[in-house]
Structure formats: structure tokens, C-alpha cells
Amino acid sequence: MADVQTAFDTAIGLQPPNVDFRVRIPGTDSSPGNFVSALGSKPGFVSALGDGHLYLNGELFDFRSFNSPTLLEVGEFQVRDYVETISAFGSPVTRTYTLHVANNNFPDGNQPPEEAQILGWNNYTNDWIYNETNWRNIDRALHISRQHGVRLIIPIINQDYGSPTTNWVGNFNDLIRHRYNIQNYTVAQQAVDWFTDREMITSFKQIITYFLNRVNTYNGIRIGDDSTVLAFETGNEMNWGNANRTIFERPAPSNWTIEIAEHIKSLAPKTLVMDGSYSRNPSEAWEDEVLNSPHVELFSYHMYGSGDTLLYHQLQDRVKAHGKTFILGEHGFYDKAQVYESFYKTMTCAGSLVCSLRPHSENGGFVTHGEGNNIYSYHAPGFKNQTSTKFDTHEADVISLTYDASYRVLELEPPPKPVPSSPDAFLVTNGTHAGLSWRGSAWAQRYEIFGAVVQSSRFNLISQSIQDNVEAGKLFVPLDPTDPTKPIQITLPEPIPERSHSGWVDTKWCAPGSPSRCSIDVTFPKHESGSQNPLLNQAHRSIFSEGVNLAQNFYRRLLPMSPSTPESSSQFAGGWFSVRAISADGVPGGTSQSVFLRTGDLLAQRNGCTATSSGQIARAAPKALLLPPNLARQRFFLRCISLSVALKKALKLQDSAPVALLRYMSATWPLTAAPRAKATRCRIGRQVQQPLC
């Protein structure tokens, strides 16, 4: 292998003085892609000219892509991963989910205010109460999407699916409850008709005005003037139920849709408007008044299950007959991946969006989401050999077929998959040993791991094929800092056999009397959340062997480590480790910063305390304090601190780390069952004149 010079950074991003950070890594010739659309990032608003297609600056802009449901609510890392994934498709377009409405102030609500953009109604200002923090998340998503040339379809509010159990992010019935101060969900449904009540129509238009007049805090662009938005959708699956909320055949009434569309156009005249109606009677999907309205250019329908695809041509032909453009806003859950292939060959509409995509997690691995019936969210570039039950066995085919279709609809040959950028490596622990994890790179198929004794020396390849298709927080590769150049042996579980998706039923429409094809006797499943903190309710088990299951546990992140001096290799034995992303076509991508793991670190060895200075304790102990407290671990740290001959000297030098450590232990680790440990802590407190007990 050729030696190639590559710049590395330390885990904390700073170069200690006199350390050469140019290290030799084999095969880093390829430059990772910049994640702008393969067709280039193009300015301007997307237009619909009435021939059933979309255009951008006069060029065809039809798309085949994925929904990105959490794009407007997640942190910067996940936003970038989403956007870098979508940017690789022919026409980079994605669809978000709706605005969130807080509702846990109601007895049956489960949407907390910290996750919502709309908090309630203020009777004094006669306006809605907004959560600025979460509106800034929308600003950021729009800004990053704009940087990468990605266009968004944004549905504004969610449908009421009939019960609190199917109300996942807040919906228009919650707006009714806030506006009229009605606590009970069913009472609000029966008291107020969202689509005809003038107060609710006016109040909803206030939300739209706030949204479109908002000036993005990241780039200063008024959202109604931002060409990043391909279309504002009047809502998600908007559906006009009857008085007792059992029949959902009708689309949103034409008067409501036209009035809302006209209001959107008054604030965003260059942005397309999409009718978000979703009648459960496809023969009456839209009313003619809306199809003929100059304020609505796009019409959407959602198709799930192979049977729904039979309706496609009927729906598209009706829309085209009115000189409008048809979009398949959501589709998927087909029993076999081959259905995608045949459907894409016959599909001629302007756009289609598979449900749905999820990004990498900040904690390593991917965010996952289940829809039932063996159907799970998809992750680029798709993985064939799934070892986690929360990954879809059709994933690789669905991603690849959609990627290829996104170029063929533009009459282009699909290019190679993108070359991934650099992952972000960090150290983790399983409770007894340290290991390596990383924030994954968009479109990385696998990763290589390198190890070195000295950072400025040659890094050896110690593992050439590790995938990160595991749940968030479960990516863990054990490290041996005593021999950092030794190859790592990884044994994975047996791949999960391919699982059929047949028989999926959209249970949120299965109210008694519903035309949906499902039994009346239905238990409504609660939406599975892919954003739950992976550090909660985790099981700690010892994993350090020749064979390790990468998908076995959640792991806790360690604070960055680094030698304290340039001559650290003589003072601190250990190893440097780094990760490189590899594309789906085998092309090397970006390489992570290198991270250092000390041989004598408290978490890298099983034996007793070896730290002999307060400085070492101060660096090592906080990492282990992230672990759940137990008596053995507590006594271990107390013994280390007690043995530190440099403790008083460190205090005289105003080094407060040991004292801060002891105070932290005092506050968080109860010692009622450990009188000897408590006595030790009290004795140390007296030594340093600190109230530690």
C-alpha cells in the first residue's frame, strides 16, 4: 500500500505543541464528495407549467426520492446527514413532516412543549404562542438544505386521525383545543369543524403568516421568499370526517383548500402549493373546484401496499386533465422490493417520495423507526445483510432502485454512489472496556479502522470492513491500546432472513365504519420513536473478546483523551485510532480525526488503580463517572484519589479537579450502603479541607 500524507486532528481538535499531525494512511487518494446534487446546486424556484412535470430554470426537475420526516426537528448533525443523503439523488427533493403542536397539557396528550413549534393560544395577544428554539431548527434545516441544493415540500399541519392514540406530533384538533380551551379530544372533534369554523380558519392562517413571514435566523432570507421550498402543502393527509368521526371518505372541502392556498400564495407567490387532501375514496380524491384553482399547482396522493399502485394512472390522468401536476407524496410498504422496480418503470408523474428515510445518529449507528409488519425506515446506501431486527431487509434494494430511478426519470444514466466524507470518531465504553465508535458519513457502505503507536508514524489497517447498520448508540468496536496495530477480529450475528412486508394495514384509518381495508377490531399501535435518547434504560454487559456483537448494547461516550505532552509516548503507553469511510462502490472517502486511548486509562484495563497523580485522575475519572454508580467502582476511585501523593500539591496549584470529582461523587453516589467508602471520603475531605461528607 502506498503511503499518503493526510492531516489528522486530535480528539479535542487542538494540536499539542511540537507534534507532527501529518500521518501516513494508505489509500487516501480519493477526495470525498462535497454533497451537492450530481446535477449541481441550482438557484431559482421550481415551477409547474401544466404539462404534468416540474422544471427548474427551464430544465426538467422531476424527482424520485424519500420522505425525511424528522428533518425539521433534529439537531445539526442529523440535518446534515439527511441533506447530504438526499443531495445525491437526481433532482434532490424531500418532504418533511408537519409542524408540531404541544398537547401534553391536555389529559390525553403526549407532545411536550420542548418538541413543538406551537405551544398554545394567548388570549391577551389573540395569537398563537410559539417555541422560538424549535422554529430555529426549521431555519437551520432550510439553510443547510439551501447550501446543498436540496428542495423541500413542507406540509403545514397534521390530520386528526380520530383518536389521541394516533396523534403523534399534535394535529389540527389540538389547535381547536388550544383555541377554544377544550380539554377533551372527542369533545373538541364534535364541537368544532376544523374545515368550516371561521375562527379556526382565521387562526390557522395566522400560523401560516407567522411561518412564511419569518426571517431565517441563519441566512436572513424570509421563508416565503426562499426557493429552497419547492412547495407548501396545505396539510398532511387532510381528510373531512363526518360528525361522529367514523367516515373519512371526503377530501378537505374545496372552499377551505382554496382559501388556504390563496393565503399561502399571497405570502409566497413564487412557491408552489400542493393540496394535502387524502380522501379514502380515490374516485373522489379532489373536488373539481380545487383542480381548477389557479392557486394550487400540485396534487398529492399516498399509496401503501402493492394494491394501491393500481390506482396510480387513474389519479394522475385526472390531475393532468386539469392541467395540473401529480405528486406521489408518500408510497411504499410493498410486499416485495421488486414492486418498486416495476412501479418506477411505469411511473411518469412529476415526483414520488418513498416513506421513509432516517439519518445517522450523533451517538453512532442510525436512527430507526418501525411501521409494523417488518417494515422499517431506510438508511443510505442500504445494507443487504441486516443483523438488527430494527432494520429493513428490503433496504438495499429500495435505496438502490430509487437512486437509479431518480436519474432515469431525467433520462440520465445513474452515476456511481457518492464518495462519503469523514466520519467523526470517538471513544466509548461498555462498562468494563473502552472501544471505538463514530458518527457515520452519509452514503458510507463500510468503514476501515486504522491504528498506530505514535500519531506521527504509519497507521496500520486493523479492520477493513465494519458497517454501522446498528441502532443509535450501539456501534462499538473494542480496542486494545497495548497493541494498537493488531488486527481486530469481529464476529457478527447471522444475517436476518429477508422478511415479507405483505399484509400491512394503515391502522390509523381503521375506525368503525371506515372504508379502509381492515378489521373493525383493531388495536392502535403507538408510533415508535427513533429519537429516544439511546443512553436511557441501557443494559451494561461485558463485551471484550475475539468475537463481539456490534449490535448488542448501548454504549456511553467517553470524554476525549490525548497525551499531555509531545513526548507522551514515553510517559503514557497507548494507541491512536482512526476511521475511514468507504463508498458503496469501494472508493475510499474521508478519514476521521485520530483518537488516543491510554493503556493505563482507568477504563482501558481491568486491573486495579494505576493512576499516580491527580492530573491523571482528573482526566480519567470523569469518563468513568458517566457510568452508573456502584460500590466497587466508587471504592476504586476513592482508592485512586487517596493514593495520589500529588493531591495537596495540585490543590496548591489551584487544580480543583480532584475536589470537583469528590464533590460530584458526594452529590451523585449515595454511600448509605458503603460505610467504609464513606469513611475514606470523609478522611480525604479533611485532608484537603473540603466538606465532602
Q: What is the pLDDT of residues 468-480, one digit of tens each?
A: 999 999 999 999 9
Q: Return the bridge partners of 249, or none.
A: none
Report how far residue 417's alpha carbon sits from residue 371's, in angstroms, rounded to the nearest whole number. Answer: 27
Q: Are 39 and 27 in contact (CB under 8 A)?
A: no
Vertex 41, ends 39 and 44: CA angle to 5°? 115
Mean pLDDT calculated for residue range 661-682:
51
Nearest Cα to Cα of residue 420 among 397, 446, 402:
446
Mean pLDDT calculated for residue range 254-264:
99
More confident: 457 or 108: 108
More confident: 284 or 518: 284
Report how far residue 17's alpha carbon sits from residue 564's, in angstroms, rounded to the nearest whole number. Answer: 10
Q: Residue 146 has what DSSP assignment? A: H
| Pairing outcome for strands 375-376 and 370-372 | antiparallel
Residue 412's pLDDT band, with cuts at 50, 70 and 90, is very high
Report how far residue 62's alpha carbon sits from residue 410's, in angstroms, rounded to the nearest whole number. Answer: 7
Spacing of C-alpha 17 from chain mean position: 37
The whole-number pLDDT of residue 539 equals 28
Residue 491's pLDDT band, with cuts at 50, 70 and 90, is confident
The whole-number pLDDT of residue 542 equals 24
Q: Are 622 and 559 in contact (CB under 8 A)?
A: yes
Mean pLDDT calculated for residue range 392-412:
98
Cβ neighbour number for residue 61 with a 10 Å cutoff: 26
Q: Are 241 and 217 in contact (CB under 8 A)?
A: no
The CA distances from residue 475 to 398, 425, 557, 616, 651, in Å, are: 24, 11, 11, 27, 39
Residues 6+ apart with CB under 8 A from 279: 239, 248, 249, 250, 251, 285, 286
The CA distances from residue 407 to 344, 410, 414, 444, 644, in Å, are: 11, 5, 5, 20, 65
Q: Residue 125 has what DSSP assignment? A: T
More confident: 651 or 72: 72
Q: Are 423 and 439 in contact (CB under 8 A)?
A: yes
User: How many alpha carbons lie under 13 Å from residue 587 in its C-beta half-sphere?
Assistant: 15
Q: Measured in Å, how far apart are the chain's first and last C-alpha atoms?
A: 59
Q: Are 299 and 291 in contact (CB under 8 A)?
A: yes
More confident: 430 or 88: 88
pTM, full prediction: 0.79
Domain 63-357 in CATH: superfamily? Answer: Glycosidases (3.20.20.80)
Q: Are 188 and 177 in contact (CB under 8 A)?
A: yes
Alpha helices by DSSP H, listed for 184-287, are 185-191, 198-213, 254-267
The CA distances from residue 662 to 432, 619, 634, 678, in Å, are: 22, 14, 10, 11
Mean pLDDT calculated for residue range 246-272:
93
Cβ neighbour number for residue 17 with a 10 Å cutoff: 7
Nine cell digits for residue 224: 416565503
The whole-number pLDDT of residue 215 equals 99
Tell me: pLDDT of 68 over 80.
yes
Mean pLDDT calculated for residue range 469-498:
92
More confident: 535 or 133: 133
Angle between helices 675-687 and 631-643 (to 10 degrees): 30
> What's the mean pLDDT when you consider all of the chain?
80
The whole-number pLDDT of residue 574 equals 87
Tell me: pLDDT of 638 over 80.
no
If phi over 0 gives left and psi between -120 and 50 gives alpha, with beta otherwise, what is residue 201?
Answer: alpha
Least confident of 79-93, 102-116, 626-640, 679-693: 626-640
Least confident of 45-54, 427-436, 559-568: 559-568
Q: Where along the chain do its domains lie?
A: 63-357, 614-687
More confident: 649 or 585: 585
Q: Return the bridge partners of 434, or none.
A: 429
